[in-house]
Structure 1
Amino acid sequence: MIAASWIQFMIHDWIDHLEDTQQIEELRAPEEVASQCPLKSFKFYKSKETPTGFYEIKTGYLNRRTPWWDGSAIYGSDVEILKKVRTFKDGKLKLSENGLLEQDENGKIISGDVRNTWAGLLSLQALFVQEHNLVCDALKKEYPELEDEELYRHARLVTSAVIAKVHTIDWTVELLKTDTLLAAMRANWYGLLGKKFKDTFGHVGGAILGGLVGMKKPENHGVPYSLTEEFVSVYRMHQLLPDKLQLRNIDTTCGPNKSLPLTNEIPMGDLIGGKGEESLSRIGFTKQMVSMGHQACGALELWNYPIWMRDLIAQDVDGTDRPGHVDLPALEIYRDRERSVARYMNFVEGCCKFPSLNGKT
């Protein structure tokens, strides 16, 4: 379950399309299937279109988050949030004594991104705030002359690099588990010369020999870096989420199967949004993390989408609940169509130049 929480932690660092609050769309279930749908209809904002200035693709969509690994899920993507999460003492970020994220005077979580959260995501945000603060302590001990701003900036760089490394050569490899991907992701990080060579001699050559990490400047061929709409689509991995979280007894020893005893189960509906914040406060940081570590996430396959996500409370960017619920899988399909993401067989045909078989896919 930590893996399922991790990818949402990354998405809250990378992507959030700006909405057009002047355009409200409504989806209605067809009469013949309406009785099978938790919501017969629901309303939502359309994505906000913006001119691209490109002759072939006239319009695109703005990203509210910074689409690179800068740790914005804990630091924020704008100046206001960047200031709000800091203590301005020894470079550190705000953190409660219980190891969880602090709340402001309105009871809102203080973190880089607070929209559409759940207990697993909040735990990882708290974990890396702890990591940032520990890096600050280590830097201050080694370099006592560093002031608050320098400590903050160095610790942020270190913590963001750790996050990027975990995702590249740990999370991705463990999720897909193929030898080809393992070799590819390690080549991304260390280059074809490998880890031992890079650890000994540093970055040598370009991205192929020395890897992407340590290059003096990016090789983007004049194109500003961003993430594609196809990337957004494939990183929707809600099948990883279960129906219930299994809480473990952390005050005892592991049994013969190396698993801690199960104490109780909590429905996922009690772990999202404001209810999730309250539940996490009762559970505690350590018990939440250990319990997620003992529970397998769901399989990434068809017909395994969580039913509870078909009647879900959506939130504004400040974490405030919206009055209307949404059917998330239906909304995801709409978003792909809205943003002109190619359907699967169209993508395959365009990529591999395979012809249609009598027009059938």
Structure 2
Amino acid sequence: MSFQQQGLNFSSKEEIKESFISGRKCEVQAIYDGHTVIIPGVLEYIEQTDVPTGDSIAIYPSQSFSQYMITTLKDYTRQLVQALNVHGMISIQFVISDKQICLKKVSPYISRIIPFLSKITGVSMVEMAVTSILGEKISEETDHLLLPVSSNTVYVQAPAFSLTSSEVLDCYSNQKMKSTGAVMSTDIKLEKALDKAFQSTNVKVPEFGAILFAVNDKDKETALSLAQRFFDVGFTIVATQKTAAFFTKFGLNVRQIDSLFDATSEEEGLEQINHDDIQIIVYTAQEEGSDSHRYKIKRKAVEQGVTIFTSLDTLAVVLKVIQSRTFSTKEL
């Protein structure tokens, strides 16, 4: 049965996309009793669609979506919920790509994000959902209770990973969620809330040192922009051969090292990291080296306390935290 047969009225006639769409993720929660649709909140995720939501950083309220976009997301959510006619809690994931809203997934159950929203609002959403499932009506007046206590406050939920779990280290082995928990932080500024979250999950955010880039061709332009900003706050930029050549072409001062995965052993690859005082590794070049070699390099790096990022979106918010702590340096 098509969406249009169910009474949904989207602006585009093409609701199903067969190709993979990359963009910003968001999640909308709804509670439905057959008459009233209550929407506890619209959450924005930092990482894009290739990272599971359970491994992504969630922000509430959204810091980048326009009010028109949020209103549209809520409108689409109401249409979907009423068309599906599922009583209780429904979680709907959307992807925002080129200012277009694409439906990703509808889950007719309570999402892991509900405890986060319940703590923000002080309202037991599980109790509301169970009440609606049992046939009782939800008061429309409940909607105003689901707003944040302070509109000036930013709330962050960040995934926590067990460093004893070897599976965590290789983000390209599969698309399964790898986080083992989550933490919640809050502040009046997004950067401060993120900083608290990183500290709580033992993610080291160094303020100086060297940062190593080894990225895919498709990521090089974005990585270049990030590398320039890291350079501006005092980091030394190190890169593998192809990445260094790209950075140098655009005038960035970069020190080149051999590919980590050309070394005859993972110990030799790690020696290069220690020799250059590298504090952060940015790695999206999953086509380089064997799976076994990449895995061993990553594991050794984690054991040595070197932070590894495989998502440029996560790296961008880490940079915001560093910038909030430090001063930029530019030649006069």
For normalisation by structure 1, the TM-score amounts to: 0.25
Greater relative contact order (Cα < 8 A, sep 6+): 1
Q: Would you tell me which structure has more strand in proportion to its own residues?
A: 2
